[in-house]
Amino acid sequence: MSTISCEEPGEAPLRRQPTQRRSARRVERMLDACADLLDEIGYDALSTTRIAERAGVAIGSVYQFFPDKRALTQAVTRRHVEGFVSRIGRRFLLEDYAGWWDAVDAIIDEYVEMHRTVPGFRSLHFGDVVDLNLLDPGSENNTVIAGRLRGLLLQEYGLADSEEFDLAILVAVEAGDAVLKLAFRRDPNGAPEIVAEAKRLIRGYLNRQFARVSA
């Protein structure tokens, strides 16, 4: 069994990094346009031409930084991941939790909030509708996410690191992802009763696994 990596996802999809503030703002407009269009028309109908038109840039500007729509979508997904982890980290700093179980609830709450409010998030989640390896060619998307959340939990709660802990976090992420997708299929805002069940399921599972690992 391989240990989950908590490293940053693989190489960024940008052909080159913007070196000036104006270029960086232009790239952000492209990503905003891509995210909005994903929600409006879906990935199959998405094109670099439509993204350029929505962003108000020349098509050549798109190709200057991104080779195709997949690379743009990959960049949007990476932005989602960084935003998700950053928002969770900020909550961990500002809020007091009785233990890891309340932190898990906060992670789920943040996922639900981003699903409701962040353009492109509901269409991509973390990219699995486009490519299971969108974030990192060597790891499935949820494995990358599990690694990032694992790092946060280890840092905040001093849980014992082990391959068993890695596996428990990965299974919890996969299970939570599946149940929360069900919640949003039932209700565009996330059926609250199913979100509550997701929290109970993950807390119960992790409680049993952490107790077994610590025994």
pLDDT (tens digit, 9 = 90+) per residue, 19-52? 578 888 999 999 999 999 999 999 999 999 999 9
The partner residues of 139 in beta bridges, in order of sequence, read: 136
Position 52 in a domain = no
Position 198 in a domain = yes
Position 129 in a domain = yes
Considering the entire predicted model, what is its pTM? 0.75
Per the structure, the complete domain to which residue 142 belongs is given by 74-214
pLDDT, residue 125, reads 62
Position 103 in a domain = yes
Position 58 in a domain = no
pLDDT digits (tens, 9 = 90+) for 128-146: 544 444 445 544 566 767 7
HSE-up of 85 (CA within 13 Å, CB side)?
20
What CATH code is carried by the domain that includes residue 163? 1.10.357.10
Domains contained in the chain, number: 1
Position 64 in a domain = no
Position 17 in a domain = no
Phi/psi of residue 188, nearest 5 degrees? -55, -25
